[in-house]
């Protein structure tokens, strides 16, 4: 089989025209599978486990014995707005969309109207991790809201320079994935005074200052309408304040695990009757069932026994408590795909337990 430059060009053009962001690559997989079949390959598309991101396998068998060669690659792309791709000789050209948002694939976003080449020159060829960083233009320069992770410093500095210079960085809070690059960008950093100690710390732990809780309680700001996010390092006195005020806690256990922030005091929260709901905190994987599963996993590690939190209580964390934290009477109903591979052979009465302890978010229909 020889390399056909024209065929390679046309395939590239077709693939670029197909939207294939991380987490939704079905169209690209189908296109690639069809092209491999046209070449006479044995094609298998594995959809059962991850239907939104299927795996395409093409086999080209030789006629003589010998070693196998395996070529592996990604189908997903970083969603950068771009102009319609065009053919220029044997090359396919794709430019950033100068009429829309010009985006840094590390998550940094710049408004339209800037020189395309100036900003495109600062886009890194490899994306280590995606965190959102926002650039806001002002009369005295650019305000950067949040600073992502450390590896994004060069891109933040470069995009800011291309937009006219960074005047300041404003941190939403001092979590490592919000302030990581701040110290490496040549600009003053603004944050809440209660976060300064942690914003300047190397490890960033803990980053929530619970010393403010008594003040919030005394002034009536801490109550049933309040939701404290994380509460990973809250002590018994602070937990008592939360319980007495009727406040809730939003746990983000997979984010805490990803960043090495520690374990939430799950048993202490439930023993005090403190309402618990779940969040993702911009984690790159968003799966409410995994969050619930991890809460029970934390409780098991802390107590050395299983079944610490009842199934009904876990389900309430993922439904009623979350709705109440947002001021909703209830969530819209969710439909479960009972034909999903993860639920094969599961009796209807056992579905709730199977959802929490054995399924991922793709089990929900639609």
Segment 267-279 shows an average pLDDT of: 94
| Domain positions in the chain | 5-59, 100-199, 210-332
Average pLDDT of the residues of the chain = 80
Q: Which long-range contacts (CB under 8 A, 24 or more apart) does 194-198 make?
A: 195/171, 198/174
d(CA 191, CA 169): 9
Give dist(CA 197, CA 182) in Å, integer. Answer: 14
pLDDT at residue 17 in the model:
84
For the whole model, what pTM was predicted? Answer: 0.48
Report the distance separating Cα 277 and Cα 252, nearest Å. Answer: 9
Decide if pLDDT at 222 tops 70. Answer: yes
Q: What was the pLDDT predicted at 343?
A: 95
CATH 3.20.20.140 fits 210-332, yes or no: yes
The closest of 180, 232, 185, 230 to 201, measured between CA atoms, is 180
Per-residue burial over 197-234, b = 16 or more CB atoms within 10 Å of its CB, e = otherwise = ebbeeeebbbbbbbeebeebbeeeebeeebbbbbbbbb
Beta strand ranges found along the chain (DSSP E):
42-46, 55-59, 86-88, 91-93, 102-103, 108-110, 133-138, 141-145, 166-170, 189-190, 227-229, 248-251, 275-278
Q: Residue written as tokens 């098991």?
A: 300
pLDDT value, residue 339: 93
Residue 203: what pLDDT?
Answer: 52
CB 309 within 8 A of CB 271: no
Three-class SS state of 178: helix
Lowest mean pLDDT among 34-48, 158-172, 280-294, 322-336: 280-294
Q: How are strands ordered across the β-sheet holding 141-145? A: 102-103, 108-110, 133-138, 141-145, 166-170, 189-190
Residues 10 and 63: their CA atoms lie apart, in Å, by 29
CB 128 within 8 A of CB 144: no
Residue 38, CA atoms < 13 Å, CB-side half-sphere:
8
The answer to whether residues 81 and 102 touch, using CB atoms and an 8 Å cutoff, is yes
Q: What is the pLDDT of residues 113-151, one digit of tens each?
A: 444 455 445 444 433 445 778 888 888 889 998 888 787
């Amino acid at each position: 089989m020889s390399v056909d430059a024209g065929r390679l060009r046309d395939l590239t053009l077709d693939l670029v025209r197909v939207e294939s962001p991380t987490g939704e690559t079905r169209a690209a997989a189908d296109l690639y599978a069809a092209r491999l079949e046209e070449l006479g390959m044995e094609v298998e598309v594995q959809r059962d486990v991850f239907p939104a991101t299927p795996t395409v396998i093409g086999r080209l068998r030789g006629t003589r014995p010998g070693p196998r060669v395996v070529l592996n690659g990604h189908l997903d792309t970083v969603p950068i707005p771009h102009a319609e791709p065009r053919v220029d000789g044997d090359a396919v050209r794709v430019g950033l969309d100068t009429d829309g948002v010009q985006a840094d694939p590390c998550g940094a976003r710049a408004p339209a109207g800037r020189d395309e080449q100036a900003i495109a020159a600062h886009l890194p060829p490899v994306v280590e991790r995606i965190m959102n960083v926002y650039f806001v233009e002002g009369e005295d320069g650019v305000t950067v809201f949040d600073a992502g992770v450390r590896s994004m410093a060069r891109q933040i500095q470069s995009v800011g320079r291309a937009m006219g210079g960074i005047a300041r960085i404003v941190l939403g809070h001092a979590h490592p994935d919000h302030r990581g690059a701040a110290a490496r960008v040549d600009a003053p950093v603004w944050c809440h005074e209660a976060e300064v100690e942690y914003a300047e710390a190397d490890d960033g732990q803990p980053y929530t200052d619970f010393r403010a809780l008594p003040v919030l309680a005394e002034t009536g700001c801490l109550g049933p309408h309040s939701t404290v996010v994380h509460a990973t390092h809250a002590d018994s006195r602070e937990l008592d304040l939360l319980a007495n005020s009727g406040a809730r806690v939003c746990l983000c256990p997979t984010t805490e695990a990803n960043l090495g922030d520690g374990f939430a005091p799950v048993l202490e929260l439930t023993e005090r009757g403190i309402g618990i709901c779940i969040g993702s905190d911009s984690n790159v994987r968003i799966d409410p069932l995994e969050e619930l599963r991890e809460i029970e996993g934390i409780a098991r590690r802390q107590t050395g026994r299983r079944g610490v939190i009842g199934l009904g209580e876990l389900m309430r964390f993922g439904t009623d408590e979350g709705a109440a934290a947002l001021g909703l009477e209830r969530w819209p109903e969710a439909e479960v795909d009972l034909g999903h591979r993860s639920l094969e052979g599961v009796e209807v009465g056992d579905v709730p337990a199977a959802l929490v302890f054995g399924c991922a978010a793709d089990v929900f229909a639609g």
